[in-house]
Structure 1
Amino acid sequence: MVMQTDTVLQKMSEDDFMAVFTLGRKLGQGRFGTVFLSVEKSTGREYACKLIEKRKLVTCEDVRDLRREIQIMRHLNANPNVASIRDAYEDSKAVYIVMEFCSGGELFDGIKERGCYTEKEAAKLVRTIVAVVQGFHSLGVMHRDLKPENFLFLHHQEDSPLKIIDFGSSTFFLPGESFRDVVGSPYYVAPEVLQKHYGPEVDIWSAGVILYVLLSGVPPFWAKTEKEIYQEVLHGDLDFSSEPWPVISESAKDLMRRMLDKNPATRIATGEVLSHPWVRINGIAPDKLINS
């Protein structure tokens, strides 16, 4: 158990969170933290606040993971597609991570609201997602839990930027370093994570799963139980025969095969995705509607 005298942030906040902000409605719930809308009292500006109760930080590893999450958010703060961290506070009961508030909702909700959707729009979203991944990787960070729920629109306007959130599973890495801990979400996890020997290529796999879902509405490797999903991820084949794949362009399918290559050594790299004819700006992704 984290002792009340210990500080998670390694120095107690100079300001008291509750003196600076008002906590509002609940926005979401994670394993350790609950996210609330919070309002800065002096300006009326809205933020998202992730509140982590210290009593839930049972092991030294829990504390280390939370410190690393905050460190990574600060490390990536200059990236315009990362929900930026404003500050972190701590009192005797909780840690508060104050972040940019994204009011536009999750990636899929935004698409559903628009109703109509084309390959060209999917290509634009993938271009943004993979460019963000490339930015992480260049700074020595892998996300390890890319999924549609972790991409939010900043606002509801048509031109809203896409922002990535939730760095609780993220880690720093060095070139050539290999990882063994199994993290991520079942449908989006790369096969090499399940084999406990992986590097940053896992983020390209997860981005490929997101693309597959963007185009077809279902994950590429599907089953009823978590164990069966993992078996599909390890041994299943991509399905390009069901609807709507017969009407999706061959170029999109080529990119899918290369992003969802089960061998991380031959999987397409971020730079290659961004220069792929289907993804690049003014590329060949068709502007015709996909059946929703």
Structure 2
Amino acid sequence: MVVTANPAKKPRHHNVKRPMSLGLQVESVTRTKTGHLKEHFTLGEKLGHGQFGKTFLCVERQTGKKYACKSIAKRRLLSMEDLDDVRREIEIMHHLSGRPNIVSIKGAYEDSVAVNVVMELCTGGELYDRIVKRGRYPEKKAAEFTKTIFGVIETCHSLGVMHRDLKPENFLFVNEDENSPIKAIDFGLSVFFKPGETFSDVVGSPYYVAPEVLCKCYGAEADVWSAGVIVYILLCGVPPFWGESEQELFEEIMCGDIDFTSDPWPNISESAKDVLKKMLVRDPKRRITAHQVLCRLKSSLGACRLRVWLLKPTDSGVLSQLSAIYA
């Protein structure tokens, strides 16, 4: 069964309807003099929309280079928490800018009605949409995505950032090529953290939220759980936990069994299933870290290459095939 619904695209507080408002009427969100967006960029077509605003294509006037512009409507910022979220998102994007597989920020521009965050343009669509189109990915390709996703997590955690909303919708392909790289986006729920620090606010997307988040006591390990759910979906096309209601879903996340027996799991390697089980350990203290996942992937790949190297010269036909697979 392919994931066809899009449960992740819900507002942060998905049970609360936001009333229309003129917002907080603050003098400045960014607290810096930024200039107006239209002095530097020309706005183009709408690319998408979210809780606070819309994303547009924009073109830099001086260079003609294309970017994405996330326009956050000030009238939708109803509390100091909303304000702090926008400020923190911009700060975190600057903090992470230039890191591998993380979308880069160009700049933030504020006017009387909106804060406009200009960032790198990715034109290949969401990882979610490609999973829906394909149903699932072969193990080798899933391993490539896993390496990228956990590389992003390791980078974020090493720099003191917890993403808190990892899901296939928040990884974009740079272009439409089948082998296009992917980049992490949407740091609107992200926070800075210190080692050992815990958080209690329940944020994220229902299908990907870690059990300790639902218990309102969690740390950076929650990102690993969310990424584990992504990897599970990459390999089999369905989420590990399902419910007719949000309450049923959360009960499954807290204590439900994970299916590793139905098709296609009998055809997936034991090493892949083993590392996935370690990602989805409910006790965050026993859960594998992003760095350990990357080491496991590197070790597994190295072992495959060693087996290729040990083949006899008479096995040249097999050797060439394996070399192509594990290159």
TM-score normalised by L of structure 2: 0.82
Partner of 2:308: none
Instruction: Choose from 148, 159, 170 the match for 1:139.
Output: 159
- Number of corresponding residues: 284
Partner of 2:125: 105
Q: Is the 8 A contact 1:278 1:284 kept in 2?
A: no
Partner of 2:31: 10
Q: Distance in 2 between matches of 1:21 and 1:28?
A: 18
What letter is aligned with 1:119? E
Partner of 2:274: 254
SS in structure 1 at match of 2:44 = strand
What letter is aligned with 1:51? S
Q: Distance in 2 between matches of 1:283 and 1:220?
A: 29
Identity among equivalent positions (%) equals 56
Q: Deviations over 1:203-239 (max 9, x none)?
A: 1001100000000100000112111111110010111
Partner of 1:290: none
Partner of 2:222: 202
What letter is aligned with 1:2? L
Q: Deviations over 1:81-120 (max 9, x none)?
A: 1110000000011100000000011114345677994211
Partner of 1:87: 107
Q: Distance in 1 between matches of 2:56 and 2:248?
A: 35
**Is 1:163–2:183 an aligned residue pair?**
yes
**Is 1:49–2:69 an aligned residue pair?**
yes
SS in structure 1 at match of 2:296 = coil
Cα 1:104/1:280, change in 2 over 3 Å: farther
More helix, by proportion? 2
Q: Is the 8 A contact 2:161 2:192 kept in 1?
A: yes
Q: Distance in 2 between matches of 1:207 and 1:112?
A: 17
Q: Deviations over 1:159-184 (max 9, x none)?
A: 42210000001000011111000000
Instruction: Choose from 135, 138, 143 the match for 1:118.
Output: 138
SS in structure 1 at match of 2:286 = coil
Q: Distance in 2 between matches of 1:221 and 1:65?
A: 29
SS in structure 2 at match of 1:275 = helix
Partner of 1:179: 199
SS in structure 2 at match of 1:47 = strand
Q: Distance in 2 between matches of 1:47 and 1:159?
A: 21
Q: Is the 8 A contact 2:136 2:235 kept in 1?
A: no
What letter is aligned with 1:3? Q
Cα 1:185/1:112, change in 2 over 3 Å: closer
Alignment of 1:273-292 (within 5 A): 273-277=293-297, 280-282=300-302
Q: Distance in 1 between matches of 2:279 and 2:212?
A: 14
TM-score normalised by L of structure 1: 0.92
Partner of 1:130: 150
Instruction: Choose from 80, 83, 86 the match for 1:60.
Output: 80
Alignment of 1:165-244 (within 5 A): 165-244=185-264
Q: Distance in 2 between matches of 1:42 and 1:167?
A: 28
Q: Is the 8 A contact 1:251 1:277 kept in 2?
A: no
Q: Distance in 2 between matches of 1:213 and 1:278?
A: 22
Q: Is the 8 A contact 1:143 1:167 kept in 2?
A: yes
Runs of 5+ unmatched residues, structure 2: 1-22, 306-321, 323-327
